[in-house]
């Protein structure tokens, strides 16, 4: 089963791969920060142990959002130094030592590795860190974590503004209009074979209306009971309306949706509309069709698509959320219309025919494209395990009003837990955050996982299979929406660096790969936090800094290049959707210019040249501008202490929580072109992963309290770089 969802593949032009003595760069992938047309054919290069990175001109994104980036060539030739390093000879280190109260253990690690991450537990947002560092005149560093976090803050703020300013009102209008239609349809169809189906739709829409408008009282006991279960959000129980089990713990508003009542109501309503299905099958083992719910789905399809104003609003909401997160993982109104057209069904009387309904149901199952099990379902030991996931996905197939979206990381999790991995007697019930980078190609993540996960039958086979699926994806696939593009940008941090390459000395240590693994996990956690519902301005002057304060950029040019494309996609997409507010426009454009500055600086550093005073001044100013960008958002949005539950195991009633605590501080030692040593410091993520009872899914506020009072132990592998 392919990982690609509803994305057309572009014609692939020939690409010649340059074989290098030490490493292989797949030029087409590494050069394309969101490619629209792969039309670059690379010529041969002279082989070298330190090959250039060629970043070619190309188009990024697709549809309404595209951009062109210039050609960039980097010769990796950074100045080197010997380890352990004498910290007494490192410029700027004494300042950092006094500011951060560096311990002997931390100092020893820094000397031996050329970098260290300090668990300082001081800064809850990036703006505070850079304001403090700039104000004290400390040697500053721009980290990849800092720019990823800035994008997260903007993404979250933009999405929240769109929801508050447009989507909530549009959803209200849609539900109100459909509720009136449903009430009328019940009156019309009472006494016909479609009576129960019409009443099902009425109850469904009454619940949605009551969630959006808490003063509304439903007319049926089933809808009232449903609302009570949602309000309690404490268990998996039988839905009184749909008569299958639902996980009501999912209705706890999380992410930015816990900020106010309006967002809380929107969250619960969209969860209801995204999770509850009009089931095609009543019994997937014996293939028994759910006639009532299939009829109800058809009636609802006609109700929505038959009113051009209602359908236009539905399409608007879907299009906006698709731009951010992607396409639905479930059957849509269009799928139902297509099947109805195949059978030439256009009248209510035709729905009386049970045999016809069963044929329609089978055709709908053939169109079912779901790849993620997003709800409660049971598996049985006497059934063939190789086909169990497919059977379960059919069991949970059906129309969802605004289905939750297909995202690659949830697909990876689905493919790496039972029934795909493990046996009935020894199942793998809970994935790990490291599964994602391992599938994305990180051999380090795979190495860590093999110590504990290889014991599960089929784990290694499934992991390799998923790796091959991802390798087959084109850049067009990776840039189909902001969610995928964010992951595509994050993937640059997983690059494995050989000791023979002339990258900065600290980047060639084994411990550095662990630190970048945390960068990936950190930005992925922010991504899941921001999209938890849909997946399955003050001015701060630039602070004056003493001229002796140095500036450094963590040298990952491809990260900044792809980030520039991602920011541009965001700008152009919001413009196309007519959703771009003036302060957001200014912040995104400023962020894009800053990202280009960091790209240029990182190239200079990798080429072994010294950043001149003007460039370092611009970097310090850029840090101040990051503060300005962050401060168009609320203090809550700026907080780095966030959490997202990403997987549910009903067997033991647990959820997998991915969380970030207060910022850690990264110190690196680097050499200029004359061999002079400098130390610079910048903020990095503080990543946690743990399980939590499913009826106690944590909000950001609850996690912040937990982190400050009784935080979980850091993950063992983070001890490789954090002290």
The answer to whether residue 592 scores a pLDDT higher than 80 is yes
Residue 162, phi then psi, degrees to nearest 5: -65, -40
Over the Cα atoms of the chain, what is R_g?
A: 27
**DSSP H/E element including 211:** helix 195-212
The answer to whether residue 13 scores a pLDDT higher than 60 is no
**232-243 average pLDDT score:** 92
User: What percentage of the chain exceeds 90 in pLDDT?
Assistant: 70
pLDDT for 189: 97
- The neighbour count for residue 565, using CB atoms within 10 Å, is 29
pLDDT band per the 50, 70, 90 thresholds, residue 612: very high
The answer to whether residue 131 scores a pLDDT higher than 60 is yes
d(CA 363, CA 38): 37
Q: Considering the domain boundaries, does residue 76 fall inside one?
A: yes
pLDDT for 474: 84
Which residues touch 619 (CB under 8 Å, ≥6 apart)?
140, 142, 551, 552, 553, 597, 598, 601, 611
**159-170 average pLDDT score:** 95
Q: Indicate the range of 212-226, 533-547, 581-595, 678-692 predicted with least confidence.
A: 533-547
**383-390 average pLDDT score:** 65
The answer to whether residue 583 scores a pLDDT higher than 80 is yes
d(CA 86, CA 580): 51
**179-204 average pLDDT score:** 97
Q: Considering the domain boundaries, does residue 345 fall inside one?
A: no
d(CA 658, CA 21): 39
pLDDT for 92: 95
d(CA 615, CA 553): 11
Chain centroid, CA 531 distance in Å: 7
How many structural domains are present in the chain?
1
- The neighbour count for residue 246, using CB atoms within 10 Å, is 24
- Over residues 329-371, the pLDDT tens digits come to 789 999 999 999 999 999 999 999 999 999 999 999 988 876 6
The token pair at 432 is 């790990």
Q: Indicate the range of 274-288, 359-373, 591-605, 675-689 predicted with least confidence.
A: 359-373
For residue 697, count CB atoms less than 10 angstroms from its CB and return exposed for 0-12, middle for 13-18, buried for 19 or more. buried
Average pLDDT for the chain: 86
The answer to whether residue 388 scores a pLDDT higher than 80 is no
**DSSP H/E element including 328:** none
pLDDT for 51: 39
- Over residues 476-510, the pLDDT tens digits come to 888 888 999 999 999 999 999 999 899 999 999 99
pLDDT for 12: 38
d(CA 217, CA 171): 18
480-511 CB burial, b ≥16 within 10 A, e <16: bbbbbbbbbbbbbbbbebeeebbbbbbbbbeb
pLDDT for 81: 96
Q: Which residue has the higher pLDDT, 384 or 556?
A: 556
Residue entry with tokens 């009386």: 352
Residue 663, phi then psi, degrees to nearest 5: -60, 140
pLDDT for 368: 81
The answer to whether residue 3 scores a pLDDT higher than 70 is no
- Over residues 84-115, the pLDDT tens digits come to 999 999 999 999 999 999 999 999 999 999 99
Q: Indicate the range of 197-206, 282-291, 603-612, 702-711 predicted with least confidence.
A: 282-291
Of residues 685, 247, 657, the one with CA closest to residue 431:
657
Of residues 328, 241, 313, the one with CA closest to residue 278:
241
pLDDT for 49: 36
pLDDT for 375: 65
pLDDT for 545: 38
Number of residues written out for the chain:
723
The answer to whether residue 255 scores a pLDDT higher than 80 is yes
Q: Considering the domain boundaries, does residue 72 fall inside one?
A: yes
The token pair at 336 is 């139902």
pLDDT for 405: 82
Q: Considering the domain boundaries, does residue 516 fall inside one?
A: yes
Q: Considering the domain boundaries, does residue 643 fall inside one?
A: yes
**618-646 average pLDDT score:** 91
The answer to whether residue 1 scores a pLDDT higher than 90 is no
Residue 514's domain comprises 57-155+455-720
pLDDT for 307: 95
């Amino acid at each position: 089963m392919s990982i690609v969802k509803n994305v057309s593949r572009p014609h692939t032009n020939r690409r010649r791969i340059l074989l290098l003595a030490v490493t292989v760069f797949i030029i087409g992938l590494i050069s394309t920060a969101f490619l629209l047309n792969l039309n670059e054919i690379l010529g041969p290069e002279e082989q070298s142990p330190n090959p250039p990175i060629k970043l070619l001109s190309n188009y990024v994104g697709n549809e309404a959002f595209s951009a062109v980036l210039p050609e960039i060539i980097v010769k990796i030739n950074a100045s080197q130094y010997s380890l352990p390093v004498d910290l007494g000879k490192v410029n700027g280190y004494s300042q950092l030592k006094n500011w951060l109260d560096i311990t002997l253990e931390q100092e020893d690690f820094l000397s031996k590795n050329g970098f260290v991450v300090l668990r300082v537990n001081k800064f809850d947002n990036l703006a505070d860190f850079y304001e403090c560092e700039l104000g004290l005149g400390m040697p500053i560093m721009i980290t990849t974590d800092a720019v990823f976090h800035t994008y997260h803050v903007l993404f979250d703020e933009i999405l929240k503004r769109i929801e508050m300013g447009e989507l909530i009102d549009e959803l209200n209008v849609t539900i109100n209009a459909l509720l009136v239609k449903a009430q009328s349809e019940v009156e019309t169809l009472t006494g016909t074979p479609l009576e129960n189906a019409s009443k099902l739709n009425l109850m469904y829409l009454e619940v949605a209306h009551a969630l959006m408008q808490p003063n509304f009282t439903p007319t049926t006991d089933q809808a009232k009971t449903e609302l009570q279960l949602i309000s309690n959000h404490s268990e998996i129980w039988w839905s009184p309306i749909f008569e299958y089990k639902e996980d009501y713990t999912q209705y706890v508003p999380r992410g930015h949706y816990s900020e106010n009542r309006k967002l809380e109501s929107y969250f619960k309503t969209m969860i209801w509309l995204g999770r509850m299905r009009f089931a095609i099958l009543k019994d997937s083992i014996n293939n028994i069709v759910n006639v009532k719910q299939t009829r109800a789905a058809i009636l609802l399809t006609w109700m929505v698509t038959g009113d051009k104003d209602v359908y236009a609003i539905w399409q608007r909401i879907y299009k906006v959320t698709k731009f951010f997160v992607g396409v639905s993982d479930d059957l849509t109104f269009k799928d139902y219309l297509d099947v109805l057209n195949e059978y030439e069904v256009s009248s209510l009387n035709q729905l009386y025919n049970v045999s016809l309904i069963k044929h329609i149901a089978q055709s709908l199952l053939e169109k079912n494209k779901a790849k993620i099990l997003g709800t409660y379902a049971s598996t049985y030991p006497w059934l063939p395990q190789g086909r169990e996931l497919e059977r379960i996905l059919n069991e949970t197939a059906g129309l969802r009003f605004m289905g939750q979206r297909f995202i690659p990381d949830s697909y990876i999790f689905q493919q790496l837990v039972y029934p795909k991995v493990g046996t009935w007697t020894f199942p793998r019930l809970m994935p790990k955050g490291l599964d994602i980078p391992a599938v994305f190609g990180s051999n380090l993540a795979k190495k860590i996982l093999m110590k504990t996960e290889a014991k599960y039958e089929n784990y290694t086979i499934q992991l390799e299979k998923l790796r091959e699926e991802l390798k087959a994806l084109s850049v067009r696939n990776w840039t189909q929406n902001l969610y995928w593009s964010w992951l595509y940008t994050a993937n640059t941090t997983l690059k494995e660096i050989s000791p023979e390459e002339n990258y900065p000395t600290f980047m060639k240590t084994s411990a550095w790969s662990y630190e970048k693994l945390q960068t990936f996990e950190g930005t992925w956690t922010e991504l899941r936090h921001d999209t938890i519902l849909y997946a399955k301005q003050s001015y701060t002057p630039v602070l004056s800094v003493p001229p002796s304060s140095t500036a450094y950029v963590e040298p990952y040019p491809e990260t900044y290049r792809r980030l520039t494309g991602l920011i541009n996609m965001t700008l152009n997409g919001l413009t196309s959707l007519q959703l771009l507010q003036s302060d957001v426009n200014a912040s995104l454009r400023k962020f894009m210019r800053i990202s280009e500055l960091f790209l240029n600086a990182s190239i200079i550093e990798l080429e072994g040249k010294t950043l001149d005073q003007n460039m370092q001044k611009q970097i310090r100013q850029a840090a101040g501008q990051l503060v300005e960008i962050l401060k168009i958002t609320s203090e809550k949005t700026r907080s780095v202490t966030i959490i997202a539950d990403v997987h549910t195991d009903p067997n033991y009633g647990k959820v997998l929580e991915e969380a970030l605590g207060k910022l850690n501080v990264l110190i690196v030692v680097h050499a200029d072109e004359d061999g002079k040593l400098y130390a610079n410091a910048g903020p990095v993520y503080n990543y946690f992963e743990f399980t939590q009872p499913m009826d106690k899914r944590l909000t950001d506020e609850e996690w912040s309290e937990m982190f400050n009072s009784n935080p979980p132990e850091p993950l063992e592998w983070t001890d490789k770089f954090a002290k």
